[in-house]
C-alpha cells in the first residue's frame, strides 16, 4: 500500500463547477497535510495546509481532513480554466520522521470552458 494515494485522473470538470480531489494516507501519526498545485514544467506551489479535523476554507478552496478515516480532500469551487494543473497531496509525519514530507502521485485536473 502506498503511503499517500491519489486518483491520478485526469479529472475533467466544466468551468464553474466544483472539482473534488481526494487523498488517503497510511501513517496514523501524520499531523500536517498540504495541497500543492503544479503547472506543467513548474515547481509545486502551496495552496492549502490543514492540521485539524474538519474543514478549512480559503477563497474558492476548501480542504477537508478526517484523521479517523485517514482521508484529506480539496474542493475547488467555481473552477476556472486557470485551475487546470496537477494537484499534489502531501503528508508530514509527526513521528520519528520529522520533516519528511510524503507526496501522492498527483491528480491531473482539467477545467474546460
Partner 1 sequence: DGGITQSPKYLFRKEGQNVTLSCEQNLNHDAMYWYRQDPGQGLRLIYYSQIVNDFQKGDIAEGYSVSREKKESFPLTVTSAQKNPTAFYLCASSIGLRPQETQYFGPGTRLLVL
Interacting residues with partner 1 (CB under 8 A): 4, 8, 31-32, 34, 36, 42-46, 49, 51, 88, 90, 92-94, 98-106
Nearest alpha carbon to residue 104 among 10, 22, 19: 22
- Decide whether 15 or 66 has the Cβ nearer to partner 1: 66
CB 87 within 8 A of CB 21: yes
CB 17 within 8 A of CB 79: yes
Locate 66 and state its grid cell.
478526517
- The least CB distance from residue 9 to partner 1, in Å, is 11
- The least CB distance from residue 113 to partner 1, in Å, is 25
- The least CB distance from residue 45 to partner 1, in Å, is 7
Q: Give the full edge-to-edge strand order of the sheet including 54-58.
A: 4-6, 19-25, 71-76, 61-66, 54-58
- The least CB distance from residue 99 to partner 1, in Å, is 4
- Decide whether 1 or 43 has the Cβ nearer to partner 1: 43
- Decide whether 17 or 70 has the Cβ nearer to partner 1: 70
Locate 28 and state its grid cell.
496514523
Amino acid at each position: 500500500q502506498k503511503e499517500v494515494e491519489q486518483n491520478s485522473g485526469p479529472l475533467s470538470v466544466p468551468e464553474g463547477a466544483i472539482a473534488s480531489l481526494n487523498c488517503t494516507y497510511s501513517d496514523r501519526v501524520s499531523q500536517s497535510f498540504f495541497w500543492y498545485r503544479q503547472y506543467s514544467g513548474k515547481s509545486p506551489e502551496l495552496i492549502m495546509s490543514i492540521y485539524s479535523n474538519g474543514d478549512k476554507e480559503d477563497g474558492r478552496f476548501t480542504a477537508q481532513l478526517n484523521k479517523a478515516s485517514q482521508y484529506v480532500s480539496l474542493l475547488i469551487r467555481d473552477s476556472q480554466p486557470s485551475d487546470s494543473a496537477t494537484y499534489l497531496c502531501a503528508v508530514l509525519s509527526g513521528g520519528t520522521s520529522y520533516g519528511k514530507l510524503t507526496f501522492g502521485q498527483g491528480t491531473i485536473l482539467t477545467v474546460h470552458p
